[in-house]
Amino acid sequence: MTTTAIGGEQVGADAQAAHSTWAPTRRRHREAGRGPAWTIGALAIMAYALFPVAWIASLSLKGEGDIADGKLIPTKPTLDNYRTLFDSGEFVRPLINSIGISLITTVLAVVIASFAAYAIARLDFPGKSLLLTGALAIAMFPPVSIIGPLFNIWRSTGLYDTWPGLILPFLTFALPLAIWTLAAFFREIPFDLEQAAQVDGATPFQAFRKVILPLALPGVFTSAIIVFIFCWNDFLFSISLTSTDEARTVPAATAFFTASSNFINPTGQIAAAAIIVTVPIIIMVLVFQRRIVAGLTAGAVKG
Amino acid sequence: MAAITMRGVTKRYPDGTEAVKAVDLDIADGEFVILVGPSGCGKSTLLRMIVGLEDISDGEMRIGDELVNDRAPKDRDLAMVFQNYALYPHLSVRENIAFPLRIAKVPDAEITKRVEEAAKVLELTENLDRKPANLSGGQRQRVAMGRAIVRDPKAFLFDEPLSNLDAKLRVQMRTEIARIQRKYGTTTVYVTHDQTEAMTLGDRVAVLRKGVVQQVDSPRNLYNDPANLFVAGFIGSPSMNLLPGVLRGSTLELPFGSVELPAARVPQGGGAERQVIAGIRPEHFEDASIVGDDDRGHGSTFRSRVEVIEWMGSELYAYLPYSVGGGSVGAKLDELAADLDLEQTSGDDSQIVARFDAASRVSEGGDAEVWVDVRRVHLFDPDTGETLTPRETAGSRDHAPGAVQD
Ligand SMILES: Nc1ncnc2c1ncn2[C@@H]1O[C@H](COP(=O)(O)OP(=O)(O)O)[C@@H](O)[C@H]1O
Ligand SMILES: [Mg+2]
């Protein structure tokens, strides 16, 4: 944490030469050196991790009659559960809440964290390490311990059961995450580039927007995805700080699903809901896989 | 285009380092001035103060008639080429060169025209759509220069632009830079630690040592009339031989014998016996057997063993050992050698580097009759390091702006 705002001149000529072709870090993945043991190990881990997912997927495709038959492959696959889910009105609104709240939090967190991380990477201001340690401490803080007080404060301030009521606590925990990730990226961008931009006539903000930000894009992506997943997966805040479909997100809403009759568990619908909220995450991770890996390793190297 | 004027410019870093000390320098409009000195002497700091990337702790910096001390880099209208080029890796060559124009909101058609013009001058036309990562070192250097010339700034500033290139390319780009500067006639300040670069490129050269300007002069005058020991040792390659000596009237006693100095070389108000440091460049020695009768008259000869010979084809370098007590003069020379990053050891055993004509038949390990041109012997005060030799070239040695050449 000792990166200070000095010119590249202190760096030796060799190091500068190395910087001259600077480009966002990309790591090559080696395929070599993987024996059968590796393959067996990988399969075992995948089976362990994916079996519950497969089971949920299977449940979501079973009818009410065979839901408890204990078979992995449904005998009479049906989409009834999905249909009921969207028809019941218990699911659509929470889905909108989930998407909206997660997106808004992500955008806010990334924008605010970009500025904060940039300042942390570039400037030497008093209290910098305090700020960073503070951010880390918040990220590590067990959320459950603030739920009680928050519940009371939210009730008296009118934030209870509103979108901002969830966005705020989400931001609190997402910002440190985003700041740490982004600061690692900004630190890798040579200061010279920004000075060159300033000499070329750019204001500090233009230099940031036209040079630094595009170069930090993998970092921005990585932190956006991390923040989005954090919000999307939250159960604790949503179940504690909402009471209706006004702001309740999918993970909490599934807990309140009612079945067609009081004596049946809505297992099928819950499974279908679980599948629906998992799919966007899987797609996102697959699409941005490269960037996330590049991002996480770059952060790890510098961290 | 504009002149750049510095008055008492000083840089104190927050940690107390005084990197640049009260620099007075006048750079005329259109002039090509080199800042040269060993690594860490404050060249980059001074350049970055001109461009506005470092605050000026003290003194005045003017560009044209305007005081720019408190002006942001973007408002100084200068172009800088960084040592590592600082190309924008995410932009194509075209967009790299266009960057300053885009910031200045120049219309697209005009940008295209000017970028293509610059690309033509720099022979980059074929590479306009490539990314910097896919260019060779020389091409990257050209892109960095393209970014500078495309907007017709008040001055070009270069910070060791060639130090990341290999030797051959360096010579080639050196010529290129000289050509481009001449073509545009833009005021140029060029930083280098390489005295060859300094001597070949500049109209005038400012030699810096530990943040203090030692001498500002044309390359020729720096070579002929170094103002002090530091400049004498720094300019010229191989560097000047510096020998302890004793001066009595016009007789100079050197480790290898006494020589009689011509009147023009005797310090003013000489007379009394005094300790001096004598400086003789390698090229002012010669193998006595091939010196013509005309030249013999204004030189002295002495015998010396030849320890090592380096034959270069067009010339050869002979290493002549000599022995002398260290003393205070020796200490002074050691300090200077450390400053110049030289391997020169004074102390008890030392050697003179002499350049002989390739026709010389001296042999390694043998003895040789060596001639020294007494008209080119420099004398320095061993305490202050200042020159004692009357100036050869007419004109003053102060920091007056030199005439613009061409
Ligand atoms: N940001 C800084 N803080 C403190 N000292 C510095 C800083 N930058 C440079 N220096 C010091 O100032 C002196 C001159 O540096 P510099 O101008 O980079 O030298 P040069 O370019 O001639 O090699 C050096 O001794 C260097 O260590
Ligand atoms: Mg430098």
Give the closest residue (by CA) to ligand 1 atom 2: B13
Closest Cα to residue B185, out of B158, B156, B208, B207? B156
The correct answer on CATH 3.30.70.1560 for the domain covering B240-394 is: no
Tell me which DSSP letter residue A261 carries.
S
| B264 has a pLDDT exceeding 90 | no
Q: Please tell me the distance from the alpha carbon of residue A118 to that of residue B64, in angstroms, as a whole number.
A: 35
Look up tokens 């504690």; give the residue: A240
Co-location of A191 and A119 in the same domain: yes
Chain B residues in contact with A23 (beta carbon < 8 A): 89, 133
Question: Are A202 and B54 an interchain contact pair (Cβ–Cβ within 8 Å)?
Answer: no
Pocket of ligand 1 (CB under 6 A): A 6, 9; B 13, 15, 17, 19, 37, 39-45
Q: Please tell me the distance from the alpha carbon of residue B101 to that of residue B111, in angstroms, as a whole number.
A: 7
- Percent of chain B's residues with pLDDT above 90: 64
Co-location of A34 and A123 in the same domain: no
What is the interface pTM, i.e. ipTM, of the complex? 0.82
- Residues with Cβ within 8 Å of B351's Cβ and at least 6 positions away in sequence, in order, are B307, B319, B320, B321, B322
* A1: in domain: no
Return the pLDDT at A96: 93
Q: Which ligand is nearest to the CA of B83?
A: 2
Q: How many CB atoms lie within 10 A of CB B184?
A: 17
Outline where chain A has alpha helix (H): 13-19, 36-60, 80-88, 92-122, 128-140, 144-157, 163-188, 191-199, 204-207, 213-215, 217-233, 236-241, 250-254, 267-287, 289-302
Alpha-carbon Rg of chain A, whole angstroms? 24
Co-location of A28 and A165 in the same domain: no
Residue A41's domain comprises: 19-85
CB A225 within 8 A of CB A103: no
B160 Cα: distance to centroid of ligand 2 (angstroms): 7
Tokens of A17: 């030469």
Co-location of A95 and A223 in the same domain: yes
* A7: in domain: no
Q: How many beta-carbon contacts under 8 Å exist across A and B?
A: 89
Chain B residues in contact with A24 (beta carbon < 8 A): 89
B42 Cα: distance to centroid of ligand 2 (angstroms): 7
- Residues with Cβ within 8 Å of A163's Cβ and at least 6 positions away in sequence, in order, are A97, A100, A101, A104, A247
Ligand 1, closest atom to CA B39? Answer: 23
Tokens of B266: 């005797």
Co-location of A123 and A69 in the same domain: no
Co-location of A68 and A43 in the same domain: yes
Closest Cα to residue B78, out of B163, B186, B192, B204? B186
Q: Please tell me the distance from the alpha carbon of residue A10 to that of residue B309, in angstroms, as a whole number.
A: 39
Angle A267-287/A217-233 helices, nearest 10 degrees? 170
Which H or E run includes B82? none
Domain count of the fold of chain A? 2
Which residues of B make CB contacts under 8 Å with A? 44-45, 48, 51-54, 72-74, 77-80, 82-90, 99-100, 103-104, 132-133, 137, 140, 147, 151, 163-164
Question: Are A13 and B83 an interchain contact pair (Cβ–Cβ within 8 Å)?
Answer: yes
Residue extent(s) of CATH 2.40.50.140 domains in chain B: 240-394
* A152: in domain: yes
To test the pocket of ligand 1, the residue of A9, A10, A123 to mutate (highest count of ligand atoms within 8 Å of its CB) is: A9
Return the pLDDT at A27: 45
**Helix, coil or strand: residue A294:** helix
Q: Please tell me the distance from the alpha carbon of residue B44 to that of residue B53, in angstroms, as a whole number.
A: 10
Mutate to test the interface with B, among A6, A20, A213 (most CBs of B within 10 A): A20
Tokens of B357: 């004509």
CB B336 within 8 A of CB B242: yes
Q: Please tell me the distance from the alpha carbon of residue B72 to that of residue B157, in angstroms, as a whole number.
A: 16
Q: Which residues lie across from B252 on neighbouring strands?
A: B247, B259
CB B51 within 8 A of CB B80: yes
Tell me the backbone φ, ψ of residue A261, rounded to 5 degrees.
Answer: -130, 155
* Over residues B87-95, mean pLDDT: 93
**Helix, coil or strand: residue A75:** coil
Residue extent(s) of CATH 3.40.50.300 domains in chain B: 4-223
Return the pLDDT at B10: 96
* Over residues B384-400, mean pLDDT: 68
Mutate to test the interface with A, among B88, B111, B157 (most CBs of A within 10 A): B88
3-state secondary structure A101-146: HHHHHHHHHHHHHHHHHHHHHHCCCCCHHHHHHHHHHHHHCCCHHH
B197 Cα: distance to centroid of ligand 2 (angstroms): 15
- Residues with Cβ within 8 Å of A2's Cβ and at least 6 positions away in sequence, in order, are none
Mutate to test the interface with B, among A14, A122, A200 (most CBs of B within 10 A): A200
B333 Cα: distance to centroid of ligand 2 (angstroms): 25
Of A199, A203, A206, the CB nearest to B80: A199
pLDDT tens profile B286-310: 999 988 887 888 888 999 999 999 9
B384 Cα: distance to centroid of ligand 1 (angstroms): 25
Question: Are B53 and A7 an interchain contact pair (Cβ–Cβ within 8 Å)?
Answer: yes
Co-location of A138 and A27 in the same domain: no
Tell me the backbone φ, ψ of residue A219, rounded to 5 degrees.
Answer: -65, -40
Return the pLDDT at B54: 94
* A188: in domain: yes
Instruction: Name the residue in chain B with its Cα closest to that of A14.
Output: B164
Tell me which DSSP letter residue A210 carries.
I
Return the pLDDT at B327: 61
Return the pLDDT at B318: 94
CB B303 within 8 A of CB B369: yes
Co-location of A202 and A123 in the same domain: yes
Q: Which residues lie across from B320 on neighbouring strands?
A: B352
Closest Cα to residue A289, out of A279, A300, A299, A281? A281
Give domain B4-223's CATH number out of 3.40.640.10, 3.40.605.10, 3.40.50.300, 3.40.50.720: 3.40.50.300
Tokens of B214: 């030692």
Q: Which of A3-12, B31-40, B87-96 has the lowest mean pLDDT?
A: A3-12
Q: Which ligand is nearest to the CA of B161?
A: 2
* A13: in domain: no
Q: What is the bridge-based pairing of β-strands B315-323 and B349-357?
A: antiparallel
Tokens of B120: 């033509």
Query: Among A85, A107, A125, which residue terminates a domain?
Result: A85
Distance from CA of B354 to the nearest CA of A (A): 33
Co-location of A80 and A92 in the same domain: no
Co-location of A71 and A49 in the same domain: yes
CB B364 within 8 A of CB B306: yes
CB B284 within 8 A of CB B313: no
Q: Please tell me the distance from the alpha carbon of residue B327 to that of residue B336, in angstroms, as a whole number.
A: 15
Instruction: Name the residue in chain A with its Cα closest to that of B90.
Output: A215
- Residues with Cβ within 8 Å of A78's Cβ and at least 6 positions away in sequence, in order, are A61, A62, A63
* A8: in domain: no
Q: Which ligand is nearest to the CA of B159?
A: 2
Closest Cα to residue A221, out of A182, A175, A269? A182
Report CA-CA distances (Å) from A191 to A160, A174, B47, B84.
45, 27, 17, 11
Co-location of A127 and A46 in the same domain: no
Q: CATH number, domain at A140?
A: 1.10.3720.10
pTM: 0.79
Q: Please tell me the distance from the alpha carbon of residue B339 to that of residue B210, in angstroms, as a whole number.
A: 9
Q: What is the mean pLDDT of chain B?
A: 88
Chain B residues in contact with A21 (beta carbon < 8 A): 89, 132-133
Parts of chain A with a pLDDT under 50: 1-30, 298-303
pLDDT tens profile B103-151: 999 999 999 999 999 999 899 999 999 999 889 888 999 999 999 999 8
Return the pLDDT at A263: 66
Q: How many CA atoms lie within 13 A of A27 on its CB side?
A: 17
